[in-house]
Amino acid sequence: MSDRKPTIGGNWKMNLHTGDAKALAVGLAEAVKTDAVDVTVFPAFPYLAMVAGVFCDAGSQIKVGAQDFYHQANGAYTGEVSLSMLKDVGVATVLVGHSERRHVIGETDVLINEKVLAALEAGFEVVLAIGEKLEQREAGQTDFINYAQMCYGLAGVSAEQMSKVTIAYEPVWAIGTGKTASPEDAQAAHAAIRGCLSGIYPGTDVYATTRIQYGGSMKPANAGELLAQPDIDGGLIGGASLKVEDFNGIITAAQ
């Protein structure tokens, strides 16, 4: 058991509207009472302020994060949302590099790195998502892909700034597919990621203090075994974060 505090994130993706987002937030505020786990939910942009307000009114410890943002301060970036806008509505955490942004929307490593640097500069907590595709796993490239995505994503990030960074290891083939990495495979990838961190930040304790979440079809039934692994410090949850019972079941397994 490490002394890293478990961290559980709920990525609501492009799901839920006012009524069901509010009901989920209210239900979570009632159900999640633990201080032993850091819990963050990532609603879609239009509902961030409302969900943050629900948690604030309920005195809940649950934090609200954004699934994306643009790294420029302001200006002619039609359709984009800035970090100061997010701060304005109570957001303190941002997700960067999710596989759907990398592989569906087409975000590059360069853009991901710009976002990481801008968010840290603005004082946000950053969850940097990395992970291999199925063909890369089958070609034996899992650890290399994770290393490369971390090197690009963290370029220019100091060891001190790493106290605000969580790595989310999310094998792309496990996201939303119902296929979960076995606890042994997930542990092996997490241990290798920790090894990369000691290479990227030599002579520091970054490798030991950085929290690494697992993401990919985590649910209450498999969370216990995954979270029991020594290098798995939490989970980033998609589908199972949309129901109070499922998400709280995973939070309970993390305690």
CA dist 29 and 25 (Å) reads 6
**135 has catalytic annotation:** no
Q: Site for ligand PEP (CB under 6 A): which residue of 43, 215, 234, 249? A: 215
Instruction: Name the active-site residue from 100, 107, 125, 170.
Output: 170
Stretch that binds ligand PEP, among 61-69, 79-87, 189-197, 234-242 (CB under 6 A): 234-242
Determine, following the binding rule CB under 6 A, whether residue 217 of this chain makes contact with ligand PEP.
yes
What is the distance between the alpha carbons of residues 51 and 219, in angstroms, rounded to a whole number? Answer: 23
Binding residues for substrate: 11-13, 176, 217, 238-239
Work out the burial of residue 178: count CB atoms within 10 Å of its CB; fewer than 13 is exposed, 13-18 middle, 19 or more buried. Answer: exposed
Q: Please pick, from the candidates 91, 237, 251, 254, the single residue that binds ligand PEP as defined by CB under 6 A.
A: 237
Cβ(203)–Cβ(218) below 8 Å: no
HSE, CB side, 13 Å, CA atoms: give it for residue 119.
32
Spell out the residues 6+ positions from residue 138 whose beta carbon is closer than 8 angstroms to its own: none
Q: Nearest to residue 204, comparing CAs of 167, 163, 145? A: 163
Please, how many CA atoms are within 13 Å of residue 63, restricted to the half-sphere of its CB? 21
For residue 53, the tally of other CB atoms under 10 A from its CB is 15
Cβ neighbours of 73 (radius 10 Å): 11
Q: Is 156 in the site for ligand PEP (CB under 6 A)?
A: no
Closer by beta carbon to ligand PEP, 11 or else 82: 11
CB-based contact 35:61 (threshold 8 Å): yes
Q: Judged by CB, which is closer to ligand PEP: 45, or 53?
A: 45
**245 an active-site residue?**
no
If one asks whether residue 170 binds ligand PEP (CB under 6 A), the answer comes out as yes
Which of 32/240 has CB closer to ligand PEP?
240
- Whole-number minimum distance, CB 244 to ligand PEP, in Å? 16
Q: Which of 116, 127, 175, 250 binds ligand PEP (CB under 6 A)?
A: 175
Q: Under the criterion CB under 6 A, does residue 238 sit at the interface with ligand PEP?
A: yes
Pick the catalytic residue: 71, 98, 107, 132?
Answer: 98
Can residue 167 be called a binding residue for ligand PEP (CB under 6 A)?
no
Closest CB to ligand PEP among residues 130, 154? 130
Tokens linked to 207: 């490798």
Q: Does 220 bind ligand PEP (CB under 6 A)?
A: no
Extract the tokens encoding 96.
Answer: 């960067």
* Interface residue list for ligand PEP (CB under 6 A): 11, 170, 175-176, 215-218, 236-240
Residues with active-site annotation: 98, 170
